Amino acid sequence: MGDPISRRELVARLRRLGFVGPYAGGSHEFMTRGSVRLILPNPHRPDISDALLHHVLRQAGVTRDEWEESR
């Protein structure tokens, strides 16, 4: 982790980690993996900061090692 990433890259890497979606739902899209439902950040923001990425990955149950291997 370190540099901001695009939402598009976030979705692609989450798919490589077994998530499906994104699906429309309420005010935010979400992705699922098993029983985990992960709310995605707003698509109208240009990049996802390192802090927000850390928060999303913690909610997803994705470790730093898994994230780094998903490149």
Residues composing the chain: 71
- Structure-block tokens of residue 47: 């990049």
Q: Which tens digit of pLDDT belongs to each residue from 38-54?
A: 999 887 777 999 999 99
Nearest C-alpha neighbor of 66 from the set 6, 21, 19: 19
* Res. 15: pLDDT tops 60: yes
Determine how many CB atoms are found less than 10 A away from the CB of residue 50: 13
Q: Could you tell me the pTM of the whole model?
A: 0.89
* Res. 6: pLDDT tops 60: yes
Domains present along the chain, CATH in parentheses: 5-69 (3.30.920.30)
